[in-house]
Amino acid sequence: MPEPPALVLIAGPERVLSDRALDSTLEVLRAHDPQIEVVRLYAADYAPGSLLVHASPSLFGGATAIVLHDADEASDDLQADLLTVIEQVGDELRLVVLHKGGNRGKRVLDALKSAGARRIDAPAIKTDREKNDFLTHEFRRARRKATPEAVRALLDAVGRDVGELAAAARQLVDDTEGLIDVEQVQEYHGGKVDATGFRVADAAVAGQTSEALRLLRHAIASGLDPVPIVAVLASQLRQVARVATAGGGSSGALAGKLGMAPWQIDRARTAARGWDGDRLGRAIQAVATADFEVKGGGRDPVYAVEHAILTITRERGAG
């Protein structure tokens, strides 16, 4: 068995990825030494000197692995202690540092790099294309295949939180067999699909007034807050605007350029056929007004969303 690294830096803001990197790192350390003691410290409540205490050799012997969370929030005292401990690591002391990103704690990052720390990246998963790729990889990681339509349906059903996406993918992997298709996504997450802002937005952008309002009322009755519904409306309209002004080219080529998944390019292209720049601009402005109102600027958030949907569908139907 190869010697595990004495220093590990897990860098990046994506919680799901950083948690997995930490779990795999600790698994390696425990495989090498089942008796290793794991100590977790957090920058937010760090007491000066405590890192040095835990790094000191135990009277009873044995190895220690110190896990420091949120090094990007480290105080000057914690950074100073880290710089000292980085020079002390070895067979009996391992140090794992988690840093969410940014320039804070740069001295520590530089010291870890100079000391040859193993770096594991946990980059943010922000764009829809990145989340689409994340879900596809989740199924591949579990040695399962999912159709592109199933990935899209799951993305629409569960929302955009990466942790929830990972949990939903795991449920499908655990509870189904063979190729994962749309029908299976509908079976396990169909209730969520009907009640999400994504279906509301699709209907509104397509000019389907009655369907958009029906789905909205279903979503509200199911407990969905108006704020994310407005956010999805805005996102869908922005995608239509971006694709409409991006020029020609294949869906794959535009996907890379715009940070969207190919199926989103195709959907936005279809939707864009019913819009022009002026009407799309008025629809986007209506959603911006609704965003202000649902976040406290108006008296009735539900009415604000309904009014935005009516404006969108009216503008869509004016072409």
Q: What pLDDT, in 10s, does the model give residues 279-317? A: 999 999 999 999 899 888 768 889 999 999 999 999 998
* pLDDT tens string 123-171: 999 888 899 999 999 999 999 999 888 888 888 777 678 988 998 899 8
- Separation between Cα atoms, residue 319 and residue 299, nearest integer Å: 32
Domain boundary among 93, 121, 149: 121
Domain boundary among 102, 121, 140: 121
Tokens matching residue 169 = 């993918």
Distance of CA 151 to the CA centre of its chain: 15
Same domain, yes or no: 68 and 85: yes
pLDDT at 142: 94
> For the chain, how far is it from start to end, CA to CA, in angstroms?
68
Same domain, yes or no: 78 and 180: no
CATH number at residue 84: 3.40.50.300
Number of domains composing the chain: 3
3-state secondary structure of 229: helix
Same domain, yes or no: 157 and 242: no
Domain of residue 87, residue span: 7-121
Quote the pTM value.
0.65
